[in-house]
Amino acid sequence: MIQRALVIGGSGGIGAALVHVLKQGGTDVTSLSRRDDGLDVTDDASIRQAFARLPEKHFDLVLNATGGLVLNDVPPEKTLGAIDPENMAAHFSLNATAVALLIKHGAAHLAPGRSVFASLSARLASIGDNRLGGWISYRAAKAAQNQIIHTAAIELARTHPGSILVALHPGTVETPLTAPFRAASQTDTPTTAATRLLSVINGLEISDSGGFIDQHGQTVRW
C-alpha cells in the first residue's frame, strides 16, 4: 500500500482523480498544482520553492500528472507546414523539461526503500507505434520525456536504491484536454484511469524502472 503520495497537477482531470482514489485507499496525499499553489512546473525556482514548503519529507509515490496537448490555443500540427518553433518550444518546456526539473527536485523526496516516481506520458510518444504522423511537437516532447525518465532511472538506481521511475500511458481519458480529439467508445473516466494507473504502480518491480508502461501494465514500444 502507498502510505504517502505527492501528486503534481492534482487539480487537473486525471490528477484530481488520482488524489481522490489514493485518499479512498487510505493514502496520505499531498497535492501541488498551478491553480491551488501557484506551481509553475516549467520554472526551476518555482519547483524548488514548492518542494521546500512540503509538509512531508519523503513519499512512497511522486506522481506527475501535468502536461498539455493544446498550448496557447494552438492545436496539434497535422502537417509539417504547420510547425511553429515557439509552439514546439512550449511543448518541450511543459512536456519534457518540466519532468526533468521535477525529478531533479523530487528525487530527494523519495522514501528510502521502494519508492516510485511516475510521470504521465502518451502512446503518441512511441516512435515504433507511430503510423499516422502529425502532432509532431507533442509526440517529440513526450518522447523526450521518456528519454529523461529512462536516463534518470539509471542514475537513481545508484543514488536511491529501491527507487522506480516510469513513464505511464493513461489511455484516452475523458478530460477537457482530450475532448476535441477523442471518440467516446475509446475513453475511460478519470476515476477508471486513475484506478488502473495506481494498480500498475502498486505492481511495479525494480526491473521496470526506466520503462514506458500503459494503463494495463503492458510495455509500450519506444
Is 39 in contact with 50 (CB distance < 8 Å)?
yes
pLDDT at 50: 96
pLDDT at 176: 62
pLDDT at 177: 61
pLDDT at 55: 82
Q: Would you tell me how many other CB atoms lie within 10 Å of the CB of residue 206?
A: 12
pLDDT at 178: 57
Average pLDDT per block of 10 residues along the chain, 222 residues long: 96 95 97 96 98 91 97 95 97 98 97 97 96 96 98 97 97 73 71 97 98 97 96
pLDDT at 126: 97
pLDDT at 158: 96
Dist. CA 194–CA 123, nearest whole Å = 17
pLDDT at 181: 62
Q: Would you tell me how many other CB atoms lie within 10 Å of the CB of residue 50?
A: 20
